[in-house]
Amino acid sequence: MSLRFIDLRSDTATRPTPEMREAMSRAEVGDDSSGEDPTVNALLEKVTDIFEKEAALFVPSGTQANQIAIKVYTQPGEEVIADVGCHPYRSELGAAALISGIQFSFVPALRGVYSRKEAEQALHPVSERSPRTAIIWVENTHNAGGGQVFPIEKLKELRALSLEQGIPLHIDGARIFNAFVASGVPPNQWAKECDSLNFCLSKGLGCPVGSILIGERDFIREARRRRKMLGGGWRQAGILAAAGLHALDNHISRLEEDHQNAQRFSELVSGIPGVRHVHETTPTNIVYLDVSETGQTASSINQRLQKNGVALSVPGETTLRAVTHIDISSQEIDRGAKALAEAVA
């Protein structure tokens, strides 16, 4: 029997389980572009209950959710306060500049975490010279920050600033359920500390497609218009929403396993000569490794790994990333770590 390929490139690599496929095949559908898909509507109702926010919108991707949020809150020439590692700046092809005409104002941050004081220093008072600050942006958990959870106390401080200044606070919570499972802070608490938030169904929750944008009714009304403008006004999306409903019922608490697997992987690879951890800890499901001391490039190591049935992603010339998810067992973590040791040697 051939062994399964161990795909640690991303938690987007997950495939729907047989039970999820079964739920998808039974979904009742309608035209979601007109708000008439009953399964999408059931998903949105469930999400608004979980997060205790007024309204939600089902969109094809995390990137689209981020871009819609930026578009709704900003006018061209305005600024978004964020850390330099945030997804819309780093990995969305400059879409925020193209679609919304905004610029980012970066705050110094460690693994994506910054304080109220740092945000205050990046804020621009309304004046004849400065661009207006239109959003305070938080990523939780932080992808480039090695799955770091944004501490709720720090978020509360940012929230106070956002309310005092009248600047909306948005959370890119692509992995907010990982943050919940790792910290114990429930989804409604994260949602209470922001105006709006998005999360991905298609990452650790194991769905094939889909993200959700959540906020107040007026925000979501405008977001729905922007979704249409960006080509996201999909039709019988209930088949995908059924996967989302299944995931919210069955795949949240199991994220703990992914975190344990990432921790195990971190420990197993830390003895490999020349391989160093980029971050000191592994709070959730993402591990970045610096291989510069091996004298090899990350892509050459990864090519050898792939010949042994394991793939990591290569975010930098000498950086590898492993992300654990529902399709990776603890035995596969052991195999993956062993394959990495062999590929480096």
Binding site for ligand PLP (CB under 6 A): 12, 61-63, 66, 87, 139, 143, 172, 174, 200, 202, 211
Identify which of residues 241 and 344 has a Cβ nearer to ligand PLP in the complex. 241
Give the residue closest to ligand PLP by C-beta: 62
Give least dist CB 12 to ligand PLP, A. 6
Give least dist CB 61 to ligand PLP, A. 3
Short-list 186, 176, 136, 143, CA closest to 160: 136
The answer to whether 79 and 106 have CB atoms below 8 angstroms apart is: no
Identify which of residues 12 and 292 has a Cβ nearer to ligand PLP in the complex. 12
Give least dist CB 341 to ligand PLP, A. 27
Neighbours of 19 (CB within 10 A): 11
319-323/211-215 β-pairing: unpaired
d(CA 266, CA 125): 44
Percentages helix, strand, coil for the chain (3-state, rounded to 5) are 45, 15, 40
Hey, what amino acid is at 35?
Answer: G
- DSSP of 143-195, one letter per residue? TTTTSBPPPHHHHHHHHHHHHHHT--EEEE-TTHHHHHHHH---HHHHHHTSS
Identify which of residues 81 and 174 has a Cβ nearer to ligand PLP in the complex. 174
d(CA 269, CA 277): 9
CA atoms within 13 A on the CB side of 192: 10
Give least dist CB 293 to ligand PLP, A. 27
Give least dist CB 162 to ligand PLP, A. 20
Give least dist CB 38 to ligand PLP, A. 24
Identify which of residues 251 and 335 has a Cβ nearer to ligand PLP in the complex. 251
